[in-house]
């Protein structure tokens, strides 16, 4: 179990770090998240035992959790929205879900492939101006490579760093489409045989842009049409709406800016709440289209698990759990979603501070699986 917690922590740091804000030292918002110790499965009897250390930390604020357990949904809310608004969050409180957005982007890709609008092996040059991307076919980047982080593209474009430096609390705000095109003009794809899985916000953001272009609409409209409207997720959106969401907090527990992501929305622009996200989680657990297509393994993720279309698959030690997983992080939020289709259990955890919710989410799923096993054993003995 220690190994999987370490893996989850590494994944959390990886995702948050390369989302483009922790490389800037000195700013309060860039303070790295703590390693909040979550009790081992032998020491917990319920969800509150698992969550207590997280909420007790002085740098955390609110935490909203949604749980799916064999068709039953429950909500659990802890802490406060902020020091100035010291009321508990609810299943309607809207958080930045950050990189969980990527699983929405890949679901949109799967749907558009099903509809015949694009193909997984389409080179992205088909959808970019020739003056922006005119690479040899031998090094062409495909839509599937963007969706599986195998494109060879860097985590963030090099010309993003300058923009971020002058607005470190809201680093993507001033990164424009022209900036993106300028980067791609100067970029030479690496040879296919030298590519591996390298987590790339640039790649997933670019994928979202291409899909929206093909659909002849904005990224927000694409996600609404493909996912949120069919699932009746009325409070989920890929935009900046300052008055609708809960306050985020930096590494010192102080209020911090929301993130605006005008150009790479497909990488992390979505906001949501646990009420809506349980609709999304349920659709994934129940293998509904187009979500089921995004789960199967398409590449090894450097020993940390495997990766499908956006989704990582992990295997906690000393359990028979196979968990589909993604997390997210911005300057004031952390998120995690994970589920087991075999056990029919899953969790969404949303926090308005930057302390990782990965370990507690995994522990809660372990607890649910343990309770299921105990219940089954009791039935068998009778």
For the chain, what percent of residues have pLDDT higher than 70?
90
Show me where the domains of the chain are located: 2-381
Architecture of the domain whose range is 2-381: 3-Layer(aba) Sandwich (3.40)
pLDDT at 22 exceeding the cut of 50: no
pLDDT (0 to 100) of residue 303: 75
pLDDT (0 to 100) of residue 32: 55
Quick check: pTM over 0.85? yes
Element (H, E) at 183: helix 177-186
pLDDT at 2 exceeding the cut of 70: no
pLDDT (0 to 100) of residue 165: 86
pLDDT (0 to 100) of residue 100: 98
Mean pLDDT of 134-157: 96
pLDDT at 187 exceeding the cut of 90: yes
pLDDT at 248 exceeding the cut of 70: yes
Average pLDDT score over the chain: 90
pLDDT in tens, 93-104: 999 999 999 999
Q: What angle do CA 369, 371, 377 make, to 5 degrees?
A: 105
pLDDT (0 to 100) of residue 320: 87
pLDDT at 6 exceeding the cut of 90: no
pLDDT in tens, 32-62: 566 799 999 999 999 999 999 999 999 999 9
pLDDT (0 to 100) of residue 274: 98
Which single residue is written with the structure tokens 């599986």? 148
Which of 145 and 301 is assigned the larger pLDDT? 145
pLDDT (0 to 100) of residue 227: 98
pLDDT (0 to 100) of residue 247: 96
Mean pLDDT of 56-73: 97
pLDDT at 221 exceeding the cut of 90: yes
Separation of alpha carbons 314 and 116, rounded Å:
31
pLDDT at 3 exceeding the cut of 50: no
How buried is residue 129: exposed, middle or buried, by Cβ count under 10 Å (0-12/13-18/19+)?
exposed
Separation of alpha carbons 98 and 269, rounded Å:
6
pLDDT (0 to 100) of residue 14: 40
Least confident of 19-23, 68-72, 222-226, 310-314: 19-23
pLDDT at 19 exceeding the cut of 70: no
Separation of alpha carbons 4 and 361, rounded Å:
12
* Torsion angle of C-alpha atoms 200, 30, 363, 101, degrees rounded to 10: -40
pLDDT (0 to 100) of residue 302: 78
Tokens of 153: 């593209």
Separation of alpha carbons 175 and 195, rounded Å:
26
Cβ atoms of residues 368 and 67 within 8 Å? yes
């Amino acid at each position: 179990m220690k190994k999987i917690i370490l893996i989850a922590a590494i994944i959390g740091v990886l995702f948050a770090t390369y989302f483009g804000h922790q490389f800037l030292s000195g700013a309060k918002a860039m303070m790295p998240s703590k390693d909040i110790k979550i009790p081992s499965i032998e020491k917990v009897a319920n969800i509150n035992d698992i969550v207590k250390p997280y909420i007790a930390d002085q740098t955390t604020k609110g935490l909203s959790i949604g749980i799916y357990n064999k068709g039953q949904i429950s909500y659990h809310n802890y802490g406060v929205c902020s020091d100035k608004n010291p009321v508990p969050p609810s299943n309607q409180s809207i958080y930045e879900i950050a990189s969980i957005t990527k699983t929405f982007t890949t679901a949109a890709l799967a749907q558009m492939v099903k509809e015949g609008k694009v193909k997984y092996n389409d080179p992205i040059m088909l959808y970019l101006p020739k003056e922006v991307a005119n690479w040899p076919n031998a090094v062409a980047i495909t839509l599937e490579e963007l969706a599986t982080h195998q494109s060879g593209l860097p985590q963030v474009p090099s010309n993003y760093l300058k923009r971020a430096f002058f607005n470190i609390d809201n680093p993507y705000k001033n990164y424009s489409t022209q900036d993106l095109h300028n980067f791609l003009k100067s970029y030479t794809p690496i040879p296919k045989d030298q590519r591996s899985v390298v987590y790339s916000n640039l790649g997933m953001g670019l994928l979202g842009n291409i899909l929206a272009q093909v659909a002849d609409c904005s990224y927000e409209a694409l996600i609404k049409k493909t996912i949120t409207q069919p699932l009746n997720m009325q409070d989920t959106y890929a935009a900046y709406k300052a008055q609708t969401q809960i306050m985020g907090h930096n590494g010192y527990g102080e209020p911090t800016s929301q993130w605006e992501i005008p150009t790479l929305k497909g990488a992390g622009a979505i906001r949501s709440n646990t009420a809506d996200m349980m609709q999304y989680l349920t659709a994934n657990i129940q293998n509904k289209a187009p979500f089921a297509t995004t789960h199967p393994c398409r590449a090894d993720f450097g020993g940390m698990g495997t990766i499908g279309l956006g989704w990582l698959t992990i295997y906690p030690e000393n359990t028979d759990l196979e968990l589909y997983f993604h997390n997210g992080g911005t300057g004031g939020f952390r998120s995690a979603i994970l589920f087991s289709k075999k056990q029919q259990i899953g969790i969404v955890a949303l926090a308005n501070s930057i302390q990782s919710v990965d370990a507690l989410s995994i522990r809660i799923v372990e607890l649910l699986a343990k309770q299921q096993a105990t219940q089954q054993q009791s039935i068998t003995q009778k």
